[in-house]
Chains A and B, each alone.
Chain A
Amino acid sequence: AQSVSQHNHHVILSEAASLELGCNYSYGGTVNLFWYVQYPGQHLQLLLKYFSGDPLVKGIKGFEAEFIKSKFSFNLRKPSVQWSDTAEYFCAVSTGTASKLTFGTGTRLQVTL
């Protein structure tokens, strides 16, 4: 069975700082990769996804992620965070049925002014 690891549990950044959240998965076959975000008081929503093709994918609100197959990684990046990016971020993987996602434990991002 696949698993997902998010090494950063809680990250605190100042506005305009750069962000990189780590995500590693364990599965030897073809995977689909996702980042979901949960803003305070809101529901989970898709930030970006990777199925195939260009390993650098761009999502909403200036986020991007890079799939590195050799490292089993799918790290999330943003060059300059804003206070409104304060949220919990979840990396997820599926190995076929897109509805069956395996989630990481999440990273809580706190952006200070």
Chain B
Amino acid sequence: KAGVTQTPRYLIKTRGQQVTLSCSPISGHRSVSWYQQTPGQGLQFLFEYFSETQRNKGNFPGRFSGRQFSNSRSEMNVSTLELGDSALYLCASSLTSGSLTGELFFGEGSRLTVL
């Protein structure tokens, strides 16, 4: 069974640009959530999507947005990039939203560097 796939794995952007990251969840999983991982702040929740609807949102500015498609694949977008957006962006999938199974399956992440 294929795991969570994130693309691209690495990318470099300059300040002011925008970026789109993609996540394909495990087959059959309908919930996708996104996390930002940085050395200073650790892992921080960005948002969660389930059945193409945003279910939860973390404390990030509006420059960070996402969406989910009917096949459960998800994208997140960061506009007007800042140096502080440099991070590893992790996608995680789970069977359902709010499930008590509690297990999130993480991808390997997309490492974004903003110059």
**Using a CB–CB distance below 8 Å, which chain A residues touch chain B?**
32, 34, 36, 42-46, 49, 51, 90, 92, 94, 96-106
Contacts and interface: CB of A to CB of B under 8 A. Distances in A.
A51 to B, nearest CB: 6
Q: Which of A34, A43, A45 has the most CB of B within 10 A?
A: A43
A97 B48 contact: yes
A34 to B, nearest CB: 6
B44 to A, nearest CB: 8
Q: Is chain A's binding surface mostly helix, strand, loop or mixed?
A: loop
Given A92-B43, A99-B98, 7 more contacts: A46-B102, A49-B102, A98-B100, A98-B102, A98-B104, A100-B58, A103-B44
B16 interface: no
Nearest to B59: A1
Contacts, number: 72
Interface range on chain B (Cβ under 8 Å from partner): 20 to 34
A101 B35 CA distance: 9
A103 B104 CA distance: 13
Listed from nearest, the 7 A-B pairs whose CB atoms lie closest are A103-B43, A44-B106, A105-B42, A98-B102, A97-B98, A99-B33, A99-B48
A96 to B, nearest CB: 7
